[in-house]
Amino acid sequence: MRNFFNLLILSLAFGAQSQTMTTHPVSYYGIGEIGQQSHSIYDALGRTYVSYFDSSQLNVFNPSTYSNLTTGNTLLSIGINARASQYSQDAATSNRFFALADHFALGFKMKKRMGLAFGLKPYAKRGYAFSEKIYTGLDSLKYNYSGRGSVSDFFVGFSFALLQSKKSYFALGANVNYLFGNVYNDRSSILISNTSNSGGLSSTSFLVKTIHLDFGFSYKQQFGRHYQMSLGGTIDPSQKLNTTYVSAFYTSNNMSDPTQYDTLSTVTYSGHVISGLTYSFGMSNRFFFDAWKRKARTLHPNLMLNLSYSFKSGFTHDFDSIAAWNSGNGQHFGIGIQFCPESKIYENIASLKAFDKLSYRIGAYRDQLPYFKDQIQYVDKGLTIGVGIPILAQQSLSTLNFGISLGQRGTFSAGHLMESYVGINFGVILSPARFEPWFRKRKLD
């Protein structure tokens, strides 16, 4: 277990620094694609992040849920996601693939009503590359357009349960986030010639280093033996992000060798990228059924229905030297269903079959993205499916979770770029056994 733990942390560190985090040209806008979170549990439920929480999960998207963790059980959550995309426009097609470690978070109960979590997750992503060739009448030129980089989010979150009993739970929470990272847009022109590889490069970058806050609430109520309702919400107020903008121009006789570039000009500006108001609201309904009698066992199933809605304002800036960004408001709608054949796994583990121990998930989502093409807004929609596998050794709360998304992203208009993709999410939640806590408070008599 310790070696597995170390391996996952190393893969996260490597992935955060060296891999392309998205492959869509709309990441050109602003400081990249914002809010494209990924999680193996919530993605499999139609991206319903905000209202689903219990003591066996660490929901880093709603900070108020940290105090719902079980006393004495520390949770480590790590996610890895991969995506295979096919882009099409008219008769042209292109295939892309990326995979990386996505998030790392550690959470635990501090006292009876307080919870704490910290970790690292992506905030904004940029990654694209395409080119075109133009014949000017005298020369042939090749134009290359590319983008790269990311803005990461290191967060520390705290929550306090104002109400906590066997049937009721109400908590408030907040994340203090430190956003840091660079995103780049590069545009080069190269002379196509057998004797020359000369050309020029225009490069712009945004360096973000700033503090950012977001808040959440969560509420859970048990009604009798058969029904439990959960509500959750988050708000991310409009805030100014400290940003440095750099615009540089280069020329070279050999564009394939950056060491031979000559700098024509470099200009640096200090200012702010301004995040608009973003909020979300969700509802989870869990139904507990009477015991199902089988030949050699008795099952206690439960079914959960998740619904979520999010509103996302577009980003602006206060740099006088940059034109206004063509971004608007976005929305998210998600629905997910989870079925668990057995609610009392540890009590009945000896009589359960393998498939009785799993959690089965299915969902759908539709997102209106804050990007436009010819005044038509981009839409991301798809279907999801997933499964949760408990790690039952030593009665810990550890689980493995898998999710698959089948979706399309684009304006769905003739002649516009369309992306069809398959997303695969893998997540692991590690927790120590009841008799082997990671953080032990010792007392001396």
- Supply the DSSP string of 142-189, one letter for each residue: EEEEEEEEEEEEEEEEEEEEEEESSSEEEEEEEEEEEEEEEEEEEEEE
**Residue 328 lies inside a defined structural domain of this protein:** yes
How many Å from the N-terminal Cα to the C-terminal Cα in the chain? 33
Domain residues for 90?
Answer: 2-430
The pLDDT value given to residue 1: 43
The answer to whether 209 touches 224, Cβ cutoff 8 Å, is no
The pLDDT value given to residue 54: 86
Between vectors from CA 425 to CA 372 and to CA 73, what angle results, nearest 5°? 120
Give the Cα separation of 401 and 41 in Å (integer).
6
> Strand pairing partners for 250?
201, 263
**Residue 50 lies inside a defined structural domain of this protein:** yes
The answer to whether 401 touches 430, Cβ cutoff 8 Å, is no
Give the Cα separation of 431 and 71 in Å (integer).
12
The pLDDT value given to residue 441: 54
For the chain, helix, strand, coil in percent to 5 are 10, 60, 30
Q: Which pTM does this prediction carry? A: 0.86
The answer to whether 40 touches 60, Cβ cutoff 8 Å, is no
Phi-psi region of 368 (alpha: psi -120 to 50; beta: other; left: phi over 0): beta
Half-sphere exposure of 444 (CA within 13 A, CB side): 0
Nearest to 87 by CA among 439, 408, 442: 408
The pLDDT value given to residue 38: 80
Tally of domains within the chain: 1
**Residue 53 lies inside a defined structural domain of this protein:** yes
Residue written as token pair 């050794």: 393
**Residue 435 lies inside a defined structural domain of this protein:** no
**Residue 260 lies inside a defined structural domain of this protein:** yes
Looking up residue 178, the CATH number of its domain turns out to be 2.40.160
Q: CA-based Rg of the chain, rounded to a whole angstrom?
A: 24
Give φ, ψ of 341 to 5 degrees: -60, -25
**Residue 445 lies inside a defined structural domain of this protein:** no
The pLDDT value given to residue 110: 85
**Residue 442 lies inside a defined structural domain of this protein:** no
CB neighbours (10 Å) of residue 161? 23
The pLDDT value given to residue 445: 52
**Residue 210 lies inside a defined structural domain of this protein:** yes
Tens of pLDDT along the chain (445 residues)? 444 444 343 344 434 333 445 667 788 888 888 866 788 999 999 999 999 988 888 999 999 999 998 877 789 999 988 999 998 888 888 888 888 878 899 999 888 899 999 999 989 988 888 888 887 767 788 888 889 999 999 999 999 999 999 899 999 999 999 999 999 999 988 887 767 788 889 999 999 999 999 999 999 999 999 999 999 999 999 999 999 999 999 998 888 787 888 888 999 999 999 999 999 999 999 999 988 887 777 888 999 999 999 999 988 999 988 888 877 889 999 999 999 998 888 777 777 888 888 999 999 999 998 888 888 999 999 999 999 998 876 667 789 999 999 999 999 988 888 999 999 999 999 887 655 555 555 555 5
- Supply the DSSP string of 87-145, one letter for each residue: EEETTEEEEEEEEEEEEEEEEEE-SSSEEEEEEEEEEEE--EEEEEEEE-SS-EEEEEE
